[in-house]
Amino acid sequence: MQTRPRLLQFITSFRIGGTEKQFVSLGRGLDAERFDLRIACLARSGELLQEFDGRGTPIAEYLIRSLYDMRSLGRRLRFARDLRRSRIDIVHSFGFYPNLFAVPAAWIAGAPVVLASIRDTGEFWSPAQRRAQRLVCGLADRVLVNSRAVADSLAAEGYDRSRITIISNGVDLSRFDPERGRGLLRRELGIRPATPVVAVVARLNPIGGMEIKGVGHFLEAAAILAGRFPDARFLVVGDGPARAGLERMARRLGPRRVVFTGFRRDVARILADVSVAVVPSLSDGLSNSLLEAMAAGVPVVATRVGGNPEAVEEGVTGFLVPPADSGSLARSVGLLLENAALRAQLGRAARRRIAERFSMQQMIRSTEELYASLLADSAPSRRAGSFLMRATPRAPAVQGSSRP
């Protein structure tokens, strides 16, 4: 009987975020008859960790304080030894920190396939971070990205275009039934059925001191819209360190006009009660919040950044506006709030777009085929393992955590 390839996927942590959601969905959706999945992370924590509870998937932790100290070097060498002992065939890292930690170690260990993922155009990365990631990704067999925009950005930086593969994010359409749960959020928050609700769903975590999800611009647009639409309510769904500052900013709209719901697991149910979804990001690879709103049949107004234009066709599946332009954001949202027929038309078209181009099944199958093709093309010398690790005895696959 043919042995399944041993696949290890590496993530920073299991906190709620676009990359983390895609990571979990891919891990849960992979064909267990084709791939023997293991997981590694830099921090074994976060709300999404429970998604793997009871599934028997080994999860190893390589806890570090910094990528650049001697302790981190020791963790990388331990990770390389663990890969060699566990006879891992494919190593797939997701994001900047996992790329820098895992890709060199997998190369040292001689893993037959090393795959890096970059899921953002990285406008807010420093030049040093860009150089480090480009150097590390040169050791990978392929760099997987989630949009043409990210691929173009990397090619412009000097990445080898032939080694970049685009697989778009996927959404489980069955989770976002426009009718399921309708009215529940409005009753919870005391919002009347006819009241327009405008929402942004985002993790409120600044990067380099910058609130890159653009929620501040959403609040500025809400302040503009409040005069024209006195009954409208504005929701900020999500949590993070930037929340307190954004709440202070929102107070100028008056009591009960802006609601910060905090972290919610029932985003699909919330979207069933939303009139217009706003995605005001300043930087993105391809926004999961955008795709989920479209899957729920909600008309969207999104910034023209990253891969968002690959999902939103202007005036057909939503509206696109320049980033950091609160006035344009308010105008497009206002156009939708005053035209119920247009909202319904765009919402239906948006849901069809997700079904045709961004389904979870398409994302999972495409990734499986990429794994299989890279493994089939891997060099026999790499299968034998790096000469630096050949003296390491082989043992059964890693099941536990590597902690300090």
pLDDT in tens, 54-79: 778 899 999 988 888 888 899 999 99
**What integer pLDDT is reported at residue 384 of this predicted model?**
42
Query: Structure tokens of 9?
Result: 């996927």
pLDDT above 70 covers what percent of the chain? 92
pLDDT of 389 strictly over 50: no
- Closest Cα to residue 216, out of 244, 196, 255? 244
pLDDT per residue over 1-34, tens digit each?
A: 458 999 999 999 998 888 999 999 999 999 999 9
| Amino acid making up residue 242 | A
pLDDT band per the 50, 70, 90 thresholds, residue 116:
very high
> Among the listed ranges 52-61, 214-223, 350-359, which one has the minimum average pLDDT value?
52-61
> Would you call 161 exposed, middle or buried from its count of C-beta atoms within 10 A (0-12, 13-18, 19+)?
exposed
**What integer pLDDT is reported at residue 220 of this predicted model?**
95
Higher pLDDT, 398 or 195: 195
Contacts of 313 (CB under 8 A, 6+ apart): 349, 353
pLDDT band per the 50, 70, 90 thresholds, residue 380:
low
pLDDT of 356 strictly over 50: yes
**What region, left, alpha or beta, does residue 254 occupy, with left being phi > 0 and alpha being psi -120 to 50 degrees?**
left
**What integer pLDDT is reported at residue 398 of this predicted model?**
44
**Residue 107 and residue 260: Cα distance in Å, rounded?**
45
Decide if 292 contacts 268 (C-beta within 8 A).
Answer: yes
Decide if 277 contacts 201 (C-beta within 8 A).
Answer: yes
Most confident of 211-220, 372-381, 390-399: 211-220
CA dihedral in degrees (126, 128, 130, 136; nearest 10)? -150
Domain segments of the chain: what residues? 6-170+359-383, 173-357
**What integer pLDDT is reported at residue 402 of this predicted model?**
40
pLDDT of 324 strictly over 60: yes
Query: Structure tokens of 335?
Result: 């156009």
DSSP 3-state of 133 = helix
How far are the Cα atoms of 52, 232, 326, 329 from residue 219, in angstroms, in the given order? Answer: 36, 13, 8, 10
**Residue 232 and residue 333: Cα distance in Å, rounded?**
11
**What integer pLDDT is reported at residue 393 of this predicted model?**
38
pLDDT band per the 50, 70, 90 thresholds, residue 208:
low
DSSP string, 141-178: SEEEESSHHHHHHHHHHT--GGGEEE----B-GGG--T
**Residue 234 and residue 254: Cα distance in Å, rounded?**
11
Domain 6-170+359-383 shares a fold with domain 173-357: yes
Higher pLDDT, 306 or 179: 306
Helix (H) / strand (E) element for 286: namely: none
Average pLDDT over residues 353-361: 96
**What integer pLDDT is reported at residue 17 of this predicted model?**
86
pLDDT of 390 strictly over 70: no
Q: How is the beta sheet containing 90-94 ordered, strand by strand?
A: 59-61, 36-41, 6-11, 90-94, 113-118, 142-145, 164-166
**What integer pLDDT is reported at residue 10 of this predicted model?**
98
pLDDT of 231 strictly over 90: yes
**What integer pLDDT is reported at residue 183 of this predicted model?**
86
**Residue 325 and residue 214: Cα distance in Å, rounded?**
10
Contacts of 374 (CB under 8 A, 6+ apart): 90, 113, 115, 141, 142
Most confident of 160-174, 208-222, 255-269: 160-174
> What kind of fold does domain 6-170+359-383 have according to CATH?
Rossmann fold (3.40.50)
A 10 A CB-CB count for 284 gives 29
pLDDT band per the 50, 70, 90 thresholds, residue 53:
confident
pLDDT band per the 50, 70, 90 thresholds, residue 39:
very high
**What integer pLDDT is reported at residue 152 of this predicted model?**
96
**What integer pLDDT is reported at residue 401 of this predicted model?**
42
pLDDT of 397 strictly over 50: no
Average pLDDT over residues 275-302: 96
Decide if 91 contacts 16 (C-beta within 8 A).
Answer: no
- Closest Cα to residue 309, out of 330, 341, 281? 281
Average pLDDT over residues 371-393: 62
**Residue 211 and residue 340: Cα distance in Å, rounded?**
32
pLDDT per residue over 246-263, tens digit each?
A: 999 998 877 678 999 998
**Residue 226 and residue 252: Cα distance in Å, rounded?**
11
pLDDT of 403 strictly over 50: no
CA dihedral in degrees (71, 73, 78, 81; nearest 10)? -170
pLDDT above 90 covers what percent of the chain? 77
CATH number attached to the domain at 173-357:
3.40.50.2000
pLDDT of 321 strictly over 90: yes
Average pLDDT over residues 67-96: 93
Average pLDDT over residues 286-291: 95
**Residue 233 and residue 263: Cα distance in Å, rounded?**
18
Q: Is 0.95 surpassed by the pTM of this model? A: no
pLDDT of 381 strictly over 60: no
**What integer pLDDT is reported at residue 255 of this predicted model?**
61
Higher pLDDT, 345 or 183: 345
